[in-house]
Homo-oligomer: A and B are copies of this chain.
Amino acid sequence: MSSGGNSKLWGGRFTESTSDLMEAFSESVSFDRRLYRQDIAGSQAHARMLEKVGVLGAEDAKAIVEGLDAIRAEIEAGRFEWKSQLEDVHMNIESELTRRIGEAGKRLHTGRSRNDQVATDVRLYLRDAIDDLVGVIDRLALALLDLAEREADTVMPGFTHLQVAQPVTFGHHMLAWREQLMRDRSRLLDARRRTNVLPLGSAALAGTVYPIDRAFVAGLLGFDGVTENSLDAVSDRDFAIEFCACASLLMVHLSRWSEELILWSTPMFGFVALPDRFCTGSSIMPQKKNPDVPELVRGKTGRVIGDLQALLVLMKGQPLAYNRDNQEDKEPLFDAIDTVSACLRIYGELVPSIAVRRDRCAAAAAAGYSTATDLADYLVKKGLPFRDAHHAVGSAVARAVVVGCELSDLSLDELRGFSPLIEADVYERITLQGSLAARNHIGATSPEQVRAAIARARKSTGG
């Protein structure tokens, strides 16, 4: 009795071999091979469990575990030959194992399916990736903290609508970036919690007839628990989508930092200078020095958002349980991981080397009537309702615009023309330093508060 024309491991019922076009179209080993460590660890844990529950003999289990160790070593030495006819990382490794250890290799797949195997591999991979990213985030967050401390007293214009609004400190601005990052960190850890659950044991979709011990496998692989439903476990890709959503938001944050660094590097703003080693020039314009890092990061935001959208579209409308569509989950996920990791790492290097041009920052803060609100608040303290104070100062600004001067250039008489409550003490209230120092509550921009925030942050993170 011959198997007909298909030599694949699943080919028993097939009467034709797979077409070449189909093989090229459907292989995944070109991109899922990066799961080899997780795949091997998962197979070893599975084999140990099968041995523990008596499905596999001790010698078979030992042969499997050692055979897989040898294969991993070969892969890491770059000597393993991946074959696209063997479809994916799983079949490549299992086939090689059987070639090496014979019969025992054919017993490894007892009580599992590629459906729960791949779900396990990807969850392991993502868990490790999150752990790595959290470490990178921590280093970047610390760099921001250090920069914030260095520039805790540096005055710069705060913007709303990209118009000069009120003076802030550069340190305060860096702490705003850090807040965004800490929320990203918190989201990643929440995603990790939902990722780190073991699907193995769900088999194809319905569980298996063997007396498996899933908790044992979970323990070996460092999972926090086991999935509760086999149909769900083999078809669930929430973890990939949730990660890409976290990654998209993180990239949106980095895109915002990038936008600011690009603006601040223009000759018009001139608030910062980036070191030459992170910039490039032009093939035609000899004078150019371009802020490529923030530009590329801003650009890469699109690809991660695209990855998220790809996965949402992928899963929309899929009936249970596993469908082959799901093979398309890996490339977007891997791309999001790689992109976020690269962007965080290079910002981790760039941030400490940002040179703040304090004179330019201060000059910009001094223009644009940035302390007009302080003048209004001055009037409020003299008893004027806020709305009336706002209106009086607005009129004073309109006058200063016509004259072409700042508020503090108007004489006391001129100022009193807008409100008789204004007295000589007004001038000290509308200085940049006065304005900054007066904003002295939790979350506000005064150097004192910035230092307090840095101290709280260092305490909470041990940074």
Contact = CB atoms under 8 A, between A and B. Distances in A.
**Chain A interface, DSSP helix/strand/loop, else mixed:** helix
A25 B212 CA distance: 46
A209 B332 contact: no
A455 interface: no
Interface stretch (A35-43, A125-133, A303-311): A303-311
A320 interface: yes
Of A202, A209, A439, chain B has the most CB atoms within 10 Å of the CB of A209
Interface stretch (A65-73, A74-82, A134-142, A279-287): A279-287
A397 to B, nearest CB: 4
A204 interface: yes
A13 interface: yes
A187 to B, nearest CB: 7
A197 B328 CA distance: 35
Interface string A100-114: 000111111110111
Given A21-B349, A319-B162, A286 B376 contact: yes
Interface in A211-225: 211-212, 214
Contacts of A368: 267, 287
A316 B319 contact: no
Q: Give the number of times this chain occurs in the complex, counting copies.
A: 4
Chain A contact patch, size range:
35 or more
Contacts of A117: 283
Nearest to A281: B10
Interface string A1-34: 1111110111111111111011001100000000
A258 interface: yes
Contact of A320 (B176, B183, B233, B281): B176
A326 B209 CA distance: 44
A388 interface: yes
A123 B283 CA distance: 20
A289 B14 contact: yes
A191 to B, nearest CB: 9
A226 B442 contact: yes
A324 B161 contact: yes
B315 A165 contact: no
A328 B310 CA distance: 17
A312 interface: yes
A117 B282 CA distance: 13
A205 interface: yes
Contacts of A277: 16-19, 22
B176 A324 contact: no
Contacts of A48: none
Nearest to A168: B206
Interface string A293-307: 101101111110111
Contacts of A358: none
Interface in A354-387: 364, 367-370, 372-377, 380, 385-387
A367 to B, nearest CB: 6
A277 B91 CA distance: 19
Interface string A316-329: 11111111111110
A328 B312 contact: no
A180 B110 CA distance: 28
A425 interface: no
A19 to B, nearest CB: 4
Nearest to A98: B387
A162 B397 contact: no
A402 B378 CA distance: 45
Contacts of A369: 287
Given A106-B386, A303-B310, 10 more contacts: A12-B394, A13-B288, A18-B278, A98-B387, A104-B385, A160-B288, A214-B441, A245-B248, A286-B391, A305-B309
14 contacts: A13-B397, A19-B349, A161-B323, A163-B265, A176-B230, A179-B236, A180-B238, A187-B194, A228-B443, A241-B248, A256-B320, A285-B372, A287-B369, A306-B313
What are the nearest 5 A-B pairs in CB distance? A12-B394, A207-B444, A306-B310, A299-B325, A10-B281
